[in-house]
Chains A and B, each alone.
Chain A
């Protein structure tokens, strides 16, 4: 008996760094942010309780807030499917047994390693700048362009989406693992029965991969909602021309650290949390109609 209690103590002792860190850096900030979201906290003075004012302003009296929501939704709905499709496509290519495949895999994964970093965003603003790579490439095929793609309201958001698609590596790796798990004899049987490649893809690959797709979809959707660095760096913290790249997190950041409205920013963060939660839940709910688990035996 005594010994068992001691065992607990040792366990907690080892877990203590995490538990303390969790309390201090997660639990406390989360709850203080909830409190601040009901105040007018401006960092310089102590907060005053304003009830639901921040939430009310957000939805009834803040044009930019609405703009940032529509920008973010556009971004999520365009970038996530594109990114997943791209990742799956490349994963299928890399699933072939050719020599030097390891090298190709590393090369394609590389952009994700340097992923959300500042350096890539700066590189991106060069690539899509008025004297950048894209315009030079267009020049080579005879299209004369000196527009700045990141500064043009019509294309600014698409440069961000392109950047996100380019960083497909981590979802690709997971897809690759999933593809490797599909037994080869399924395909052999199908081809004996006369199914072509396209049919095999839709009847074998996609259903068997659907749990992996679900996982990637959820992870990528959440991270797309929280995208910040590229929008911040590429638009120099401004949110781009006519607010075309004013992603939700960027607007939240501006409210907090440029205008010093911590209360409002906290309220925004809570709304984001709830919305992301709901979207994730919806994806989960929908999954029963399209995700196929072999173990359930519902073939």
Chain B
């Protein structure tokens, strides 16, 4: 119990920090909207979208969800497993390309 209370005090951060993160999330969202608004295409579009997405996700997890102040035991337990989903993504990209190839080869481009 003493431990839990000590922990509760740990999670008290200045309101200013939350307002700062809130503002940053607004700016990052506006920037991702502008990427679409100005119709950027190709590599530039994708790198900007992914950078803004990762920055937003990082800010939410680290500050709003207090992950930055947790012990590494919890941080790794929560953050590593989703990273392994990237393997699944790689598998499905390869599979999708193969399905697209067979569809084009056997059915042509018409639906």
A and B, one complex? no
User: Which residues from chain A sit less than 8 Å from chain B, CB to CB?
Assistant: none
